[in-house]
Structure 1
Amino acid sequence: MRKLLRHGLASKVLALLMCALILPAQARVIPDLYEVVEAVPSRGAMDRASASSRGLERVFVRVTGDATIGDNPQLKTVLERAQQYLQGYRYTREDNQLYLHLSFDPQAVSDQVHTLGLPMWPNNRPATLVWVAVDTLQQGRSALREEQYPELYAALEAMALERGLPVDFPVMDLNDQRNMPLGNLWALDERAAERASVRYGPDATLMGRLLEVSGERWQASWLLIHGGRSYAFDASGTSLEEVALRGIDEAANLMAQRYAVRPSGDSGPRGTVIVEISGIDSFADYTEASAYLQGLAQVSSADLLSVDSDRMRLALTTSATLQKLRDALALNRKLEAGADSDPIDLTGYRAPLGSADNPLHYRWH
């Protein structure tokens, strides 16, 4: 997680970067889902075991996308044996506090997710741009800036890391202020969000307005915009930080609901979806596209059916719903979805989308 478009870049490099950012963003792979840090009172074995259990629960929250997964009785025995899933650990000390850095084995955790039939949220996740406006009793209304609220920014990034949701924040320079006027941000204006977010190329946009009602009462309205859909939700609490963190937390819940799949099939038995990809101009394109499809958590196998000129047709075996599969494919900016043809023959038969007679169409860039 980082601030984007830092100042000081050479103008030529910046221009090239801006051109690249106009393209649809590609999902960001989260590399540290399986690494956590726990505060511990000592280096003793009991404290290490307790911290390992807490840390593994946090990992399961990130991997499944389910913030309440720790309440699952199936997970209790796994958490009790948390140290069996460790790849390594080390200690550090800061301000007289001892910390235990834990690294868990991704394959071992994934195997347990599969065994227990838990949802799996793949680690290629939508990068989310966060715009926030704050209205306080003393200072009035303003767009949230890191310089004004450094501790809140740190808390938001920590929550995003905890949930495994990649987030970025606008730099709020003159361009951002012009493209996202404060009034539009407070109104949670979707058109303004689309216009102002172009320079960052996010997969999703999260807008929030946080209102101080009284000294110990805050209210917030949030809007998550992603994949042609909008999700509105509210939050209330006793502090600015509380209602702000709930925005990140609920955004992660919504993303996980959209992209998480159960290894055993959260939508019934496995089925086959036919996909046709054009724009395959070289063996490198073929290799990259095939490897990408094979690596999708929603796909158990991708079998090549035919190659014709620059087109290849594949059969994807999946237990995910067709919509979840299409959502996952939409996260790769090299795949541009074509229009659904939905052909109907003379008898009135409508070929199902994703069938051999009506495959999903994409173009590789």
Structure 2
Amino acid sequence: MGEGLEGVGLVTGGEGSAVKAAILAATLALASHSGNNSPGYAYVMEPSMRRSLAFFLALVVAMPLAPAFAQADLRTEGDVAKAQSAYEAEVPVNSQSESDRPGALARALGAVLGKVSGDRGVMSRPGVSQALRGAPGYVENYDYRQDQGTSRTGAPTFRTVLVARFRQSDVDGLIAALGLPVWPLPRPKPVLWLAIDDGSGPRLVGVAQANAARSVLDRAIERGYRLGLPGGAAAEQVLAGAIWRKDTAAVARASAKYSPPMQLIGKLYRNDAGWTADWVFVDNGNVLSSWTSSDADARRAMAAGADGAADALVKRYAKRVDSGVPGVYRAVITGIGSADDYLRVSAALQGVSVVRSIRPVSANGDRMEVDLELLTGISGLNRMLGDNSPLVPVSVPTEGPIILENEHAEYRLK
């Protein structure tokens, strides 16, 4: 048949070529996942397994698969769908159609991974984009909101927003399996001490002027935490000068009546190209980070303050769950009694985003061996498989990128 595919020739006599091709394709499903047809892979398939496989292939073609998730319960009058926690996200959509929903849920899950991990570059991490394809399977519920605004010309504008909530336990398991950091909850609410000079001198932004700082407050929520504003009493207004001088000690003393002892200190002023903001983030009297942001739009220059504070908090407080060492691991799978079982194994492994490639080694009786190239270790794979997987872990090898002689992970097909 094909080079190095000993055993495939068992598909013989009396069965149509189309059935033979179907059986061969399914038999090689695991190999095709890795794109490897190299010699040395052995396959053994009983005649009864070939017959059941042909039937199963026809059944699979005829059976559509649909993710199970539900729209949120109907709201009472006046309620508005809104993301409230780190496990909820809002994304704009073109419509409420079913065709638009999977992509929107993928973007929403990406936003949730960013909030829970605190990593704003999470979308570029290995395995994340593949995992987002299964976003509908993580959804607890979803709803829609219609936002109305006004264009620059004064005409009304409308925007449809999908609000999705994901199951916390599933998201936590995904983050652990992907080896992402976890920014623990509950999170602190730093005090934002922001002074703005639009040309008439620096002025402190207090609670009464919250709309002036809306972009930085909203950006903090998008990053998974919140910022507070000082009351803005007369005694605090004089701190605009201290902010301008970057006198962090004076600001920290004034902020002592607020909790926690964290301050995001910023000054926003005009420049030739637009606006510049200078930032300092202080935690319990210690400067964790300082940075500058510039933009033609004052709102974007301000929003960068929330990003810098989040990055500083994540660097200091986020923890990474041990999900093992990336590499190639040998896995032995037992309990295979039919060709249908081979397909179940193939589907279970191909559906896990931490599996980069699957290289079949051998199959004999109710046992098969494969080499799995993993983005994380076996522990990360097992987290991704979860309790509902047909593969049940039996033994786990030493974590590491090198396959030790006679050492393997073992799974039982249930």
| TM-score relative to the length of structure 2 | 0.53
Distance 1:148 1:263, change over 3 A: closer
- Is the counterpart of residue 130 in structure 1 residue 192 in structure 2? yes
Deviation of residue 211 (structure 1)? 1.6
Aligned to 1:244: 302
Q: Is the 8 A contact 1:208 1:223 kept in 2?
A: yes
2:191 partner letter: L
Q: Is the 8 A contact 1:126 1:203 kept in 2?
A: no
Aligned to 2:278: 221
Aligned to 1:87: 140
Distance 1:226 1:149, change over 3 A: closer
CA distance in 2, matches of 1:261, 1:106: 17
- Is the counterpart of residue 99 in structure 1 residue 161 in structure 2? yes
201, 216, 231: which one pairs with 1:140? 201
- Is the counterpart of residue 153 in structure 1 residue 213 in structure 2? yes
For residues 234-275 of structure 1, give each alpha carbon's deviation from its aligned partner in whole angstroms, at most 9, with x where no partner exists: 222222212211111111001001111110089xxxxxxxxx
Deviation of residue 192 (structure 1)? 1.2
Q: CA RMSD in A?
A: 2.1
For residues 126-158 of structure 1, give each alpha carbon's deviation from its aligned partner in whole angstroms, at most 9, with x where no partner exists: 220000111223x332222455562x4222221
2:260 partner letter: P
Alignment of 1:319-334 (within 5 A): none
CA distance in 1, matches of 2:90, 2:176: 25
For residues 49-98 of structure 1, give each alpha carbon's deviation from its aligned partner in whole angstroms, at most 9, with x where no partner exists: 11101111110111111101011231011111111110001123233432
Aligned to 2:117: 64
- State the secondary structure of the residue aligned to 1:222: strand
Q: Is the 8 A contact 2:195 2:267 kept in 1?
A: yes
Q: Is the 8 A contact 1:146 1:153 kept in 2?
A: no
235, 248, 254: which one pairs with 2:312? 254
CA distance in 1, matches of 2:240, 2:261: 22
Aligned to 1:40: 93
Q: Is the 8 A contact 2:177 2:323 kept in 1?
A: no
CA distance in 2, matches of 1:250, 1:201: 20
Deviation of residue 187 (structure 1)? 1.1
- State the secondary structure of the residue aligned to 1:198: helix
CA distance in 2, matches of 1:228, 1:59: 31
Aligned to 2:102: 49
CA distance in 2, matches of 1:203, 1:164: 19
For residues 6-37 of structure 1, give each alpha carbon's deviation from its aligned partner in whole angstroms, at most 9, with x where no partner exists: xxxxxxxxxxxxxxxxxxxxxxxx97001112
Q: Is the 8 A contact 2:94 2:100 kept in 1?
A: yes
Q: Is the 8 A contact 2:191 2:262 kept in 1?
A: yes
1:46 partner letter: S
Structure 1 range deviating more: 55-64 or 118-127: 118-127
Deviation of residue 165 (structure 1)? 2.0
CA distance in 1, matches of 2:96, 2:317: 39
Q: Is the 8 A contact 2:210 2:229 kept in 1?
A: no
Q: Is the 8 A contact 1:114 1:264 kept in 2?
A: yes
- State the secondary structure of the residue aligned to 2:320: coil
- State the secondary structure of the residue aligned to 1:221: strand
CA distance in 2, matches of 1:124, 1:31: 13
CA distance in 2, matches of 1:60, 1:184: 37
Structure 1: runs of 5 or more not aligned: 1-29, 267-365
233, 237, 256: which one pairs with 1:198? 256
- State the secondary structure of the residue aligned to 2:292: strand
- State the secondary structure of the residue aligned to 1:247: helix
Aligned to 1:114: 176
Q: Is the 8 A contact 1:62 1:163 kept in 2?
A: yes
CA distance in 2, matches of 1:97, 1:242: 21
1:140 partner letter: G
Deviation of residue 181 (structure 1)? 2.7
2:203 partner letter: S
CA distance in 1, matches of 2:189, 2:279: 17
106, 127, 135: which one pairs with 1:74? 127
CA distance in 1, matches of 2:84, 2:141: 16
Distance 1:217 1:93, change over 3 A: closer
215, 223, 242: which one pairs with 1:163? 223
Q: Is the 8 A contact 1:40 1:99 kept in 2?
A: yes
CA distance in 2, matches of 1:157, 1:219: 17
Aligned to 2:322: 264
CA distance in 2, matches of 1:127, 1:203: 9
Identity in percent:
28
Query: Which protein is bigger by CA-based radius of gyration?
Result: 2
CA distance in 2, matches of 1:92, 1:181: 40
- State the secondary structure of the residue aligned to 2:265: strand
- State the secondary structure of the residue aligned to 1:111: helix
